[in-house]
């Protein structure tokens, strides 16, 4: 999607200890990035680029010490902030997998070509991802991203082709 500059890869949960470390919850399929990356855009509070002094694993979280954050109070002020990286620096995905931002704004069309709407969100419940589609006539259509329903995802063509079963909630008849 044009205009996406930065992508959120983690969220600061809370301060850790008294020397300025923060607990970071990874929001990425590539948590190992936290060991390599030395700089993040911190979105929240006083937004801006922050340099990493050190990183260590702490269970399913990471403890990060940012340069200039020396006290628990300074670290606590970052609670809830998102850690972001430039979109062009994202890890490449295997063929057929997409980042959420690559799906936003894509047209959703029935296999016969009828325009159903435009993707305006992606949800991640436990079973499978679900596209939130703003229908052309208003309202929402929820499309599970599973084989047999999503026939093709074609970002270069600006569309997703779906084969929704009759009776899908939100789908007008006839298709």
Q: What is the pLDDT along the chain (175 residues), one digit of tens a residue?
A: 445 688 899 999 999 999 999 999 998 888 988 999 999 999 987 889 999 999 999 999 999 999 999 999 999 999 999 999 998 888 888 888 888 888 999 999 999 899 999 999 998 888 889 999 999 888 999 999 999 999 999 998 999 999 988 777 666 543 3
pLDDT in the model for residue 56? 95
In DSSP terms, 170 is beta-bridged to none
**What are the residues facing 14 on neighbouring strands?**
23
E strands, 59-162, in order = 61-66, 82-86, 107-110, 115-123, 130-135, 140-144, 150-154, 159-162
The whole-angstrom separation of Cα 14 and Cα 99 is 27
In whole angstroms, give the CA distance from residue 162 to residue 172.
Answer: 14
pLDDT at 145: 93
Give start-end residues of each CATH 2.40.30.60 domain in the chain: 6-89
pLDDT at 97: 86
Burial of 103 (0-12, 13-18, 19+ CB in 10 A): buried
Of 2.60.120.260, 3.40.50.970, 3.90.650.10, 2.30.30.240, which CATH number belongs to 100-162? 2.30.30.240
Q: What is the pLDDT of residue 166?
A: 78
pLDDT at 169: 66
- φ/ψ of 62, rounded to 5, equals -125, 145
pLDDT of residue 171: 60
Are 28 and 83 in contact by the 8 Å Cβ rule? The answer is no
Residue 26 is predicted with a pLDDT of 93
pTM exceeds 0.75: no
**Separation CA 145–CA 132 (nearest Å):** 11
CATH number of this structure's domain 6-89? 2.40.30.60
Q: Closest by alpha carbon to 161, among 114, 100, 121?
A: 114
Give the ranges where the chain is alpha helix by DSSP (H).
33-36, 72-76, 100-103
Range list for CATH 2.30.30.240 in the chain:
100-162
Torsion of CA 4, 23, 127, 89, to 10 degrees: 30
Query: How many residues in the chain?
Result: 175
Res 4: pLDDT: 67
Q: Give me 163's structure tokens.
A: 């084969």
Is residue 96 within 8 Å of 154, Cβ to Cβ? no
């Amino acid at each position: 999607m044009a205009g996406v500059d930065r992508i959120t890869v983690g969220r600061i949960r809370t301060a850790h200890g008294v020397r300025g470390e923060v607990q970071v919850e990874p929001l990425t399929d590539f948590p190992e990035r936290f060991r390599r990356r030395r700089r993040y855009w911190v979105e929240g509070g006083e937004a801006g680029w922050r340099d990493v002094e050190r990183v260590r694993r702490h269970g399913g979280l990471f403890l990060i010490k940012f340069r200039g954050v020396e006290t628990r109070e300074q670290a606590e002020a970052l609670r809830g902030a998102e850690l972001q990286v430039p979109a062009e620096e994202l890890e490449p995905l295997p063929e057929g997998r997409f980042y959420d931002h690559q799906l936003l704004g894509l047209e959703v069309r029935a296999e016969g070509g009828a325009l159903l709407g435009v993707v305006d969100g992606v949800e991640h419940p436990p079973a499978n991802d679900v596209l939130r589609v703003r229908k052309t006539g208003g309202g929402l259509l929820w499309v599970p991203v599973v084989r047999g329903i999503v026939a093709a995802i074609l970002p270069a063509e600006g569309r997703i082709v779906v084969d929704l079963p009759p009776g899908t909630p939100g789908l007008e008849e006839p298709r």
